[in-house]
Amino acid sequence: MDNFRDLLESDHITVFDGAMGTMLYAKGVYINRSYDELNLTSPDLVREVHEEYVRAGAEVVETNTYGATAPKLQQYGLEGSLRLINLAAARLAREAAAGKAYVAGAVGPLGLRIEPYGPTSFEEAKDLFKEQISALLEGGVDLFCLETFSDISEMRQAMRAVRELCDLPIVAQMTISMDGNTSFGTTPEVFTNRLDEWGADVIGLNCGVGPAIVLSAVEKMREVTTRKLAAQPNAGLPRDVQGRQFYMCSPEYMAKYSKRLIQSGVKFIGGCCGTTPAHIKLISDAVRAISPRLQRSTPHIGRPARVEELTPADIEIVPPEERSNWSRRIVKGEFVTTVEVLPPKGCDAAKTLEQIRLLKTAGVNAVNIPDGPRAQTRMSAQATAVLVEREIGIEAVLHYCCRDRNLLGMMSDLLGAAALGLRNLLLITGDPPKMGPYPDATAVFDIDSIGLTNMVNKLNHGLDLGNNPIGCPTAFCIGVGVNPGAMNLDEEIKRFEYKVEAGAEFAITQPVFDVDQLREFLRRIEHVRIPVVAGIWPLVSYRNAEFLHNEVPGVRVTPSIMERMRLASERGKEAARDEGLQIARESLLEVRDLIQGVQVSAPFNNVRYALEVFEALPEFSRGKESDAVAAP
């Protein structure tokens, strides 16, 4: 049976819930009450808050027990109800989770000074924690969240209490002040080292401050531990408005910082004081855009619904073989051919279309239209693709990148592309603006190619990114980029696995010059293999080879090919061109039986040169010979 520890072995980004106290306060429970007692006196209210967070996308809900230790309950004369309060809290959270979320037993500080700062000994503190933890265990929690601790020594006693009773995962979260340290002056580096040493499964921060200060601290924590990190910041600092306390950070602001926290290494993200289901909803949406959802098989916990399960009942999904000719060939296992042609630099597409018309005549299956490659300014790839399909009648594979558009812009573009009849997409993250002629241009990168694949897959199932019905579903054939020559191949394969999980249906590689490298990559992705189309780049000179090898990310030109191009270039331009063409043909024949298609780049948009590469394929040559015989 799956349990919370499975998350610790994955790279899944997990969403915690937000503030319980904030929600209870908003529902009319004033702060002079024991919020923990509400588990007994107002169970429906507590359950309602949990359910709102689960609907918002929380994958972990914390029990309403932050103050349910004997010293804190004693302030309200409730110490005798400690066990019942904690048992009820676990039951309510479990009922609200309904198999869709894990339940974390929330444990806060005792509210006592322990040695050496006060009279309570370490052993006494540990035993006080054990009393609460025993009741939460009896209630059936999946993990423990020890949160809002300022004193690292007190945190240690809480951790000892858990470990003496069970081996459930511990999320240990300290709280910091505006200076980035705890109120005891402990720095993030120091308490992170200690929590790591003491065996916390996840080390994190919660409460105290807003997301900006938490982010700065997380960046320091990441440098001193390999443990998973958690962050549950407040929605800023509270402000007094006519006697009531309000937290001013908007859900949008919290979601923005959540992405930054995730990029800094946080794997468990949520909110504390001031956060509401509205905040968690946008945080969850942000996470869903950049992280595949963990699939769980256990009936006890359940799992987040797959896209197929969320598809409206009246929606008929377009089968892959009916989406386009390109998609049909991919599904049937036919070998596909395509040439990459850049959009025009200006608004006149006549020359570009004239070049692409040669591809249709030659029998190439499709034309790939890059989207602002190397951050260059060119005509919209989408507009070019529409012109190609309407005026020439050859299918386009539209590259679509995340660099230039926010989520709303992407959604609009994709719906528009579907309405205009475009069907084949290659989804990529995109080159940063600093690579192009306008390095000060702003890059958006709301999501990366994994998130974009998730988005398009949802559209194909009649849903927008927030799982809202869009009516008629799109019918895109979803392709992704992949780099067999990546410097960090493990990371590249992990991202490829995510893309396949998100809905990728085919992949196109970076230019392949090292066939052994491609073989090794294909071997390592066999468990998630989808049709792979190899990129082939016919070199035109030694300088061209040097540029690709040194300045194009992910491209590796082997020493032997570099030497061949160097020697050929010494003999002149024509010799270099012929040698580059020969290398491309050799590469194509070597990889032919490993892949399901080939994309040939057209250097300097020279389509005729790209077409010569295909002559290495017997079936292409036979077709050309038949055309010659049929000609008058």
Average pLDDT over residues 445-452: 80
Whether residues 191 and 257 share a domain: the answer is yes
**Do the bridges between strand 238-241 and strand 244-247 make them parallel or antiparallel, or are there none, so unpaired?**
antiparallel
CATH assignment of the domain containing 456:
3.20.20.220
Confidence of residue 55 (pLDDT cuts 50, 70, 90): very high
Q: Is the pLDDT of residue 20 over 70?
A: yes
Q: Which pLDDT score is estimated for 628?
A: 37
User: pLDDT of 418-437, one tens digit each?
Assistant: 999 999 999 988 766 655 45
CB 206 within 8 A of CB 231: yes
**What does the pLDDT read at residue 548?**
82
CB 617 within 8 A of CB 587: no
Which residue's structure tokens are 């370490």?
122
Q: What is the DSSP letter of 232?
A: E
pLDDT over 80 at 467, yes or no = no
Strand-pairing partners, residue 269, are 15, 231
Are residues 361 and 418 located together in one domain of the fold? Answer: yes
The reply to whether 416 and 296 lie within a common domain is no
Taking 50 as the threshold, does the pLDDT of residue 299 lie above it?
A: no
Which of the pair, 560 or 430, is modelled with greater confidence? Answer: 560
As a whole number of angstroms, the distance between CA 580 and CA 599 comes to 16
The answer to the question of residue 630 being in a domain is no
In the listed set 304, 336, 366, which residue is the last one of a domain according to the structure? 304
Q: Residue 145's beta-bridge partner residues? A: 106, 171
Q: Is residue 573 part of a domain?
A: no
My answer on whether 330 and 388 are in the same domain is: yes
Q: What's the CA gap between 160 and 153, in Å, rounded?
A: 11
Of 133, 66, 139, 61, which Cα lies nearest the Cα of 104? 61
Mean pLDDT, range 602-617, rounded to an integer: 88
How would residue 208 be classed by pLDDT, with cut points 50, 70 and 90?
confident
Residues 324, 182, single domain; the answer is: no
Residue 193, domain member (yes or no): yes
Q: Domain end: 271, 304, 337, which one?
A: 304
- Does residue 298 surpass a pLDDT of 50? no
Residue 397 resides in a domain:
yes
The pLDDT assigned to 554 comes to 66
Range of the domain at 369: 320-540+595-624
**Residue 505 is assigned to a structural domain of this protein:** yes
In a domain, 493, yes or no: yes
Would you say residue 230 has pLDDT above 90?
A: yes
Tell me: do 533 and 415 sit in the same domain.
yes
For residues 63-73, average pLDDT: 96
What is the number of domains present in the chain?
Answer: 2
Among the listed ranges 313-322, 334-343, 528-537, which one has the minimum average pLDDT value?
313-322
Q: Looking at the domain assignment, is residue 584 inside a domain?
A: no
Q: Average pLDDT of 28-51? A: 91
Q: Quote the pTM value.
A: 0.57
For tokens 């894990």, name the residue.
Answer: 102
Report yes or no: 269 and 260 within 8 Å, Cβ to Cβ. no
CATH number at residue 145: 3.20.20.330
The mean of the pLDDT values for the chain is 87
The full 3-state SS of 349-400, as one line of letters, equals CHHHHHHHHHHHHHCCCEEEECCCHHHCCCCCHHHHHHHHHHHCCCEEEEEE
Confidence of residue 439 (pLDDT cuts 50, 70, 90): low
First to last CA, the chain: 72
> What span, in angstroms and rounded, lies between the C-alpha atoms of 72 and 466?
40
Q: Distance between CA 336 and CA 88 in Å, rounded? A: 61
Name, in order, each residue with C-beta under 8 angstroms of 41's C-beta and a sequence gap of 6 or more. Answer: none
Cα–Cα distance for residue pair 530/552, rounded to 1 Å: 25
Query: Same structural domain for residues 185 and 119?
Result: yes
pLDDT single digits (tens) 103-161: 999 999 999 988 877 888 999 999 999 999 999 999 999 999 999 999 999 999 999 99
- What six digits make up the tokens of 607? 């389509």
Boundary-marking domain end, from 269, 304, 339: 304
In a domain, 436, yes or no: yes
Residue 170 pairs in a beta bridge with 144
Residues in the chain: 632
Check whether residue 242 and residue 298 sit in a common domain: yes
pLDDT tens, position by position, 323-343: 999 999 999 999 999 999 999
Burial of 348 (C-beta count, 10 Å sphere; 0-12/13-18/19+): exposed
* 258 and 407, same domain (yes or no): no
Same domain for 234 and 327? no
Share of the chain above pLDDT 90, in %: 63
- Tally the C-alpha atoms within 13 A of residue 36's C-alpha that lie toward its C-beta: 29
Alpha carbon distance 454, 460 (integer Å): 10
Residue 505 pLDDT > 60: yes
- H/E element holding 425? strand 424-428
Residues 200 and 282 in one domain: yes
Within 10 angstroms of residue 593's Cβ, the number of other Cβ atoms is 6
Give the whole-angstrom CA distance, residue 620 versus residue 539.
21
Give the integer Cα–Cα distance in Å for 16 and 554.
36
Would you state the structure tokens that stand for residue 407, as one six-digit string?
A: 């989520």
Confidence (pLDDT) at 133:
97
> Residue 534: which pLDDT band, with cuts at 50, 70 and 90?
very high
Query: How much is the average pLDDT of 351-374?
Result: 89
Going by C-beta distance under 8 Å and a sequence separation of 6 or more, which residues neighbour residue 497? 525, 528
Helix (H) or strand (E) holding 319: none
| pLDDT, greater one: 133 or 492 | 133
348 and 397 together in one domain: yes
Q: What is the pLDDT of residue 375?
A: 52
Do 489 and 519 contact (CB within 8 A), yes or no?
Answer: no
